[in-house]
Amino acid sequence: MLFTAYPLSILLIDQATIVTMLSIVTAFFAIILVLGIRKSYKLKKENKRLEEISEKMAKEKEEYKDFTDEPYVWR
């Protein structure tokens, strides 16, 4: 019978306050989720571009060019 002396309205939080707090938290995490998905998409796109460049560079085997074979031009 200890809690009967205190009104329950003091111990309880208003339902509108709870809904407001949950809405703010949900919006915050939704924004973080959207930013993470966007960042992931950009990183995948950049990775694909870098892989294509890497493949192209691997295909283009640059032969050793001896600079001593070319005649020197005096200027």
pLDDT in tens, 34-68: 999 999 999 999 999 999 998 888 787 666 666 66
Mean pLDDT of the 9-35 span: 89
For the entire predicted model, the pTM comes to 0.57
Q: Quick check: 3 pLDDT over 80?
A: no
Q: Is the dihedral of CA 41, 47, 50, 55 positive or negative?
A: negative
**Through-space distance between the first and last CA atoms of the chain, rounded to whole angstroms:** 107
Task: Write down the domain spans for the chain.
Answer: 15-57
Question: What DSSP element (H or E) covers 72?
Answer: none
